[in-house]
Amino acid sequence: MEVGKLCTVDTVCCARDESVQGAALLMRKHHVGDIVVVDDVDGERTPAGIVTDRDIVVSVVALGLDPAGLQVGDIMTDDLLTADEHDDVSVTIERMRLRGIRRVPVVGEGGRLAGIVSADDLLGFLAEEMEDLARISPYQQQHERRVRQ
């Protein structure tokens, strides 16, 4: 399965110069725990970084800094792991595991933002696959009874 088929395409984004407080308000408004920081390249949004609610707490609130006076570009994770929309889910999971990352922007042609995939999205997909796998044995037994009567 391609990761682009599982990603959330309605991705909440902001520019590097958005205030940290503005990013927090976007998270609150959209009920998300992360914002993809994008650069606008020829009218296309390309991911430049990511800011999570944890980044805001650890890098701003815990240090007593003013979230209105800081920009997301100051605290974003810019060593960004992205997944190509055609990457296999298992490859994406392995890359996330190796880096300890729970959320990955998904990019399409030319590096444009196509969506975001989270560990929760992937876990839901894998749970469905496991459920389908668990159904094999009963069907196999029914089939065997019909064939061998």
- At 54-69, the pLDDT tens digits run 999 999 999 999 999 9
135 vs 70: which has the higher pLDDT: 70
Instruction: Give the domain 3-147 fold.
Output: CBS-domain (3.10.580)
- pLDDT tens-digit series, residues 87-146: 999 999 999 999 999 999 999 999 999 999 999 999 988 888 788 778 877 666 666 677
pTM: 0.84
- Between CA 85 and CA 126 the distance in angstroms is 18
Q: Which amino acid type is present at position 140? A: Q
Task: Output the DSSP codes for the chain.
Answer: -BGGGTSBSS--EE-TTSBHHHHHHHHHHHT-SEEEEEEEETTEEEEEEEEEHHHHIIIIITTT--TTSSBHHHHSB-S---EETTSBHHHHHHHHHHHT-SEEEEE-GGG-EEEEEEHHHHHHHHHHHHHHHHTHHHHHHHHHHHHT-
Max CA-CA distance within the chain?
77
Query: What are the tens digits of pLDDT across the range 23-57?
Result: 999 999 999 999 999 999 888 999 999 999 999 99
Q: What is the pLDDT of residue 98?
A: 96
Listed by start position, the domains of the chain span 3-147
